[in-house]
Amino acid sequence: MSIEGKVKILVSDDDLTARILMKETLASDSIEVLEAENGERAIEQFEQHNPALLLLDVSMPKMNGFEVCEFIRKHKNGKHIPIIMVTGSDDIDSIHKSYAVGATDFIAKPIKWPILGERVKYILRASQAFADLVTQQQELHQLAFYDSLTGLPNRQYLMQDLKRFLAMAKRNDYQAAMLFIDLDRFKRINDTMGHSYGDKLLRKVAHRLQANLRDSDTFARVSAEQTTEAPQLSSFGGDEFTIFLSRLNDPNEAMLVAERVIRSFSTPFQLEQYEVVVTPSIGISMFPNDGEDAEMLLKNADTAMYFAKQSGRCCYKFYQDSMNSKAAARLQLEQDLRQALKSNEIVPFYQPQVCARSGRIVGVEALVRWLPLKGGIIPPDEFIPIAEETGLINELGRLVLEQGCYQAKQWLDSGHSVRMAINVSAHQFRQHDFTQTVAQVLEQSQLPPSLLELELTESVIMSDAEENIARLVELKSLGVSLAVDDFGTGYSSLSYLKRFPIDILKIDRSFMCDVNSALDDVAIVEAILALAESLKLGVIAEGIEYTSQIAILKSSNELLLQGYLFSRPVAAEYIGPLLSQNFTHLMAEL
């Protein structure tokens, strides 16, 4: 509408004198007047300059004022532009027709020029106020119905359109599908790389989903059949997205879209200098079998998505009725776990670590247990995954760290120097204040740092090796020992391994074998022992159940043994008597 700060006005009249007078009346430092001598020229000027206001004479050659006005009102840029028709003073029919074709106002001839100037200024102010209002409404609509991060329709938009489309599907008796997508382990991106990278990843995920849905034959066919455009892809908040498919012939079409989405994630996402791999878990619910309204369809798709995560992630699951009862049981378990943390039902058990040379217990590993007040025991593999998904793992981990350190201090005060090994979850390790937390617990418990060992899995420390080296150095500066748990089950670069400030390798129980085992199995254990010796690291062998397993470990200089051969994980009161025992008689094979 304006160039170099000037508002453009177009005056169209076949009378040159009238155009000159209009230009002299209206032109100013802030207004530039354009001219057109006929209707066709008026349209050319309008399309070229997009003026803020038009004055059209009713009687013009090559399209009269009414025709020009009607054309402009149908133009994409002319719906709201002010149009003043110039008519004869006693031409009532022209005035009525002016309004009928969409004119904003009219001016009768002969024109009173001072009044014309004031009238145009008033209409321009009113037009600007209207434009501001429209812009504000558009911005409010954008905020209300679109996700500000990805630009996708949001949950409110989705719910609004779903009701309409489901009603249409019900009337026409056809199927539809809801795909509920959640990014697997997205929180680790925010925890390790920061929220700015997490936001960039979400934008790239949204773009890739849009691109792949456009290219999908199934999706294209579904969209082509719809009489009204639907918000097929929506952002449901955070790392959750939904895809609504209408007019399906059978559930296989929803399956094809889900498979295409999963395949599209096989290519890493480029975030500046980083390549990030993230995978989707997808739940699918079908209309009308799995829900006849928007809320139920979404709820059941969400439930199915959770079961996709339980099934190993990076897959899809169709909703089944049995899922609801299982989901309810899981929700109850989550609520019970929150209460258990408050009511001291979560306690560490301890499993001895025996020195292969002396036969004495020199350390214990703290292993968390849930002992409900009503009796029984809930296995860790039932509640640890829930704790990780809900963020309760940080509270649980701190509890075990505190109780373990206080217990080790009690044993120290009674004359037994026992190193306390505490497992550190990925969630804990990625907390920016984890080192400060460990320092605080050591200070509060008065446990010497040399009696605390922190165990991290191989996969955790290798997730971002460069950054984790700095984290490990921080922890090491406290004076604690660092161990790599489950060594051999993940992937380690030896160039990184020698840079990690670690003290101990724990050989995973899955590698424990004896002299009668396959040569390949024995070779793996011997290779790990040789690696530990070359890097001057201690070794803890887990899963020792038989004396025959100890024989292949004899070459290790710094060897600790842990397993049922010596003791199962037990409560603290059962460890006390064991601290005075000697287990040399169990190591005759050495």
Tokens 């670069």, residue located: 493
What are the DSSP calls for 170-201, one per residue?
HHHT-EEEEEEEEETTHHHHHHHH-HHHHHHH
- Chain centroid to Cα 299, Å, comes to 19
pLDDT of residue 357: 86
pLDDT of residue 229: 40
Exposure b/e, 130-168, CB count within 10 A at least 16 = b:
eeeeeeeeeeeeeeebbbebbebbbbebbeebbeebbeb
Q: What is the DSSP letter of 450?
A: G
* Residue ranges of the chain that CATH labels 3.40.50.2300: 2-145
CATH of domain 353-366+406-587: 3.20.20.450
Neighbours of 61 (CB within 10 A): 11
Q: Cβ contacts of residue 215 below 8 Å, gap of 6+? A: none
* Residue ranges of the chain that CATH labels 3.30.70.270: 155-320
pLDDT of residue 578: 94
Using CA atoms, how far apart are residues 427 and 348, in angstroms rounded to an integer? 19
Using CA atoms, how far apart are residues 9 and 49, in angstroms rounded to an integer? 9
Q: How high is the mean pLDDT in each 10-residue block of the chain (590 residues)?
A: 72 90 88 92 92 92 92 89 82 82 86 85 86 80 83 88 84 89 86 83 94 65 45 84 89 90 92 88 93 91 91 90 81 88 92 92 95 87 86 92 97 96 91 93 97 90 78 94 80 70 87 69 82 88 86 73 93 93 74
Q: Cβ contacts of residue 191 below 8 Å, gap of 6+? A: 427, 430, 431
CATH of domain 2-145: 3.40.50.2300
Using CA atoms, how far apart are residues 241 and 315, in angstroms rounded to an integer? 15
Under CATH, domain 155-320 is a member of which superfamily? Answer: Reverse transcriptase/Diguanylate cyclase domain (3.30.70.270)
* Residue ranges of the chain that CATH labels 3.20.20.450: 353-366+406-587
Neighbours of 306 (CB within 10 A): 19
Give the Å distances, CA to CA, from 209 to 247, 522, 575. 20, 47, 55
